[in-house]
Amino acid sequence: MNSLSEVPTLDPVDDSGVRVGGEPIVGLRNFVRRFGDNVILDGLDLDIAPGEFIALLGRSGSGKTTLLRTLAGLDRANGQAVRVPDSRAVVFQDARLLPWKQVWKNVALGLSGPNVRVRSEIALAEVGLGHRVNAWPLTLSGGEAQRAALARALVREPALLLLDEPFAALDALTRYRMHDLVLSLWRAHRPAVLLVTHDVEEAIALADRILVLDRGRIVAEERIGVPRGDRTALAARLRPRLLSCLDSGERREAGVVRFPPALKAAGE
C-alpha cells in the first residue's frame, strides 16, 4: 500500500542463507510453574522465532525439563498465556519407541491421512534408517532408536521441534553424527528447534542462540552469528562464560542445601 511496507525488513540471516525471525511462534510471558511450595519456573520470558535454533543450558533441577514439558503441552499452563504452535514434536533422551510396534508404525503413531506408511518410510530413509523400517524397536541400537525418534518427530512437519537431551545417552562418535544429522534435517525442514542440554560444547556447535536457565529464570543469553563449523575460536571465548553462568548457580545453590550432596551427585 504505502511505500514503506514494500521495503523489505532486514531479518537476521543464518549461515544456511535462510531467513529466521518474524512473528515469534513461541511466547511465554512471566511464566510461573510450581509444585507445592517448590517454584520450578519463576517468571520466565521466552520468545522463539520461526526456524530459530535455540539451545537451553541448565544444570539438573534448573527447570529445563519442566519448561520443555510446558512447551510440549504435557503440563497444564494453569490459565497462563502460553503461545505454542499446534504442530510440535518432541524427541526425548530415551527414544521412547513403543516396543510392540515396528519402527515404521512408531513413526506413523497418531498420523492420519493417505500414504502413512510411505510418509513414514521417507522420514526413516531421511534419518538413515531405511533398512530398519520393519524392525522391532528393542533390536535397535541406542543411536538407531534415537534416529527413529527423530523420524517420528519430523514426519509431522513440526513448526517447533523440542529436543530433550536427545544425545546424552549416546557415545561420543554417535553423538557427533547425530549433531550433523539434526543440523541437516533442520536446514531441510526449518522447524524452530529448542534443544535442552547440559553440554556446553553441543550448545555452541548447534545453536543460533543459547539460553542459560537457572532456578526457573533465564540468567544468560548469547546470540551466535558465526557460521556453524567455524566456531572454534568463538567456543574458546564462550565456553568459560557459559560454564561460569552454570557454575555460579551451583555455588549459590550450595549455600541452600536442598539435597544431601551424595544424592545430588547421583542425580547428575
Partner 1 sequence: MTALTIGHETRIAARRPARRWLLPVNFGGRWASPVLLLLLWEIGSRSGLIPERTLAAPSAVLGTLVAMSLSGELLANLLVSFARAAVGLFLGVGLGLVLGLAAGLSRVAEQVVDPLMQIKRTIPALALTPLFIVWFGIGETPKVALIAFATIFPVYLNLYSGIRGVDLRLLDAARSFGLSRIELIWHVVLPAALPSLLVGLRYSLSVSILVLVVAEQINASAGLGYLINNARDFMRTDIIVVCLLVYALLGLSGDWLVRRMEDRALVWRPSIVEQSS
Question: Which residue's CB is nearer to partner 1, number 81 or number 98?
Answer: 98
Shortest reach from residue 114's CB to partner 1, in Å: 18
> In this structure, what is the dihedral angle of CA atoms 224, 225, 226, 232, given to the nearest 10 degrees?
-10
Residues forming a β-bridge with 39: 34
Site string for partner 1, 109-128 (x = CB under 8 A): xx------------------
Exposed, middle or buried, 195 (CB in 10 Å: 0-12/13-18/19+)? buried
Question: Which residue's CB is nearer to partner 1, number 51 or number 137?
Answer: 137
Q: 107, 148 in Cβ contact below 8 A? A: yes
Q: Of the candidates 22, 161, 18, which has an alpha carbon nearest to the alpha carbon of residue 85? A: 161
Among 13, 29, 81, 100, binds partner 1 (CB under 8 A): 100
Among 42, 83, 85, 96, binds partner 1 (CB under 8 A): 96
Shortest reach from residue 108's CB to partner 1, in Å: 10
**How many residues at the interface with partner 1, by CB under 8 A?**
20
Among 13, 18, 74, 125, binds partner 1 (CB under 8 A): 74
Q: If binding is defined by CB under 8 A, does position 261 make contact with partner 1?
A: no
Q: If binding is defined by CB under 8 A, does position 166 make contact with partner 1?
A: no
Q: If binding is defined by CB under 8 A, does position 99 make contact with partner 1?
A: yes
Question: Which residue's CB is nearer to partner 1, number 13 or number 74?
Answer: 74
Q: If binding is defined by CB under 8 A, does position 90 make contact with partner 1?
A: yes
Q: If binding is defined by CB under 8 A, does position 136 make contact with partner 1?
A: yes
Shortest reach from residue 112's CB to partner 1, in Å: 10
Stretch that binds partner 1, among 42-50, 115-123, 136-144, 242-250 (CB under 8 A): 136-144
Phi, psi of 181 (to 5 degrees): -65, -45
Q: If binding is defined by CB under 8 A, does position 217 make contact with partner 1?
A: no
C-alpha pair distances (Å), 175 with each of 142, 160, 179, 201: 10, 22, 6, 12
C-alpha cell at 38: 517448590
Among 11, 21, 39, 72, binds partner 1 (CB under 8 A): 72
Q: If binding is defined by CB under 8 A, does position 92 make contact with partner 1?
A: yes
Residues that bind partner 1 (CB under 8 A): 72-74, 89-90, 92, 94, 96, 98-101, 109-110, 136-139, 152, 156
